[in-house]
Amino acid sequence: MTPRKLLTIVVLVAVLGFGYYSMNAAPVLSNHEYTYQGGLEWNEDPEEALSAAERQDKPVLVYYWTTWCTYCQTYDEEHYQDEDIRDVLEEYVLLAINLDEPGAGANMAAEHGANYPPQHVIITHNREDVSELGGYVERDRFLGELRRGLDSTAT
């Protein structure tokens, strides 16, 4: 084997190893019932979130995220820490779906065409779409959309 081929193989293995480690080393807390994004408790199971929304007469904020999403980290560190946003989020049932995991969340992601994070979708407990925010948006726009979602679902 030539030194050039050997070097190519070593570099490829190093890059793949680093990529694998990066994807699996993200500090997201979860107990497989809830995930904790931005210090908030988010449901992981769509059916449980929809049932809770019906019982509590609240809309659902669906948050599509991944561990490798840098804008998701920005939401966690900034938007979800903002007191005004947190106050409005109390009026929602929160549902976080990791786009890298299979299961019921993946089915809901397919329904919303969510294939790249971050994405927020406001829905009713009957799964009716109210509003959608794709990608990263500034704090004021995010807060405004959350408030409009509440107004649209008020009964």
> Domains in the chain: how many in total?
1
pLDDT beyond 70 at 120: yes
Residue 17 belongs to some domain of the structure: no
Tell me whether residue 22 is in a domain. no
Residue 14 lies in a domain: no
**Model confidence, pTM:** 0.77
Distance (Å, whole) CA 145 – CA 155? 18
Q: Distance (Å, rounded) from C-alpha 65 to C-alpha 77? A: 14
- Whether residue 67 lies inside any domain: the answer is yes
Query: What is the pLDDT, as a whole number, of residue 25?
Result: 46
pLDDT for position 31: 45
pLDDT number for residue 16: 79
Looking up residue 46, the CATH number of its domain turns out to be 3.40.30.10
Mean pLDDT of 90-111: 91
pLDDT digits (tens, 9 = 90+) for 130-150: 999 999 999 999 999 999 998
Please compute the mean of the pLDDT values over residues 88-100 and round it to a whole number.
94
Residue with tokens 């397919």: 110
pLDDT band of residue 29 (cuts 50, 70, 90) is very low
Interhelix angle 46-56/104-112, nearest 10 degrees:
70
* Residues facing residue 34 across a β-bridge: 43
User: What CA–CA distance (Å, rounded) separates 18 from 26?
Assistant: 13
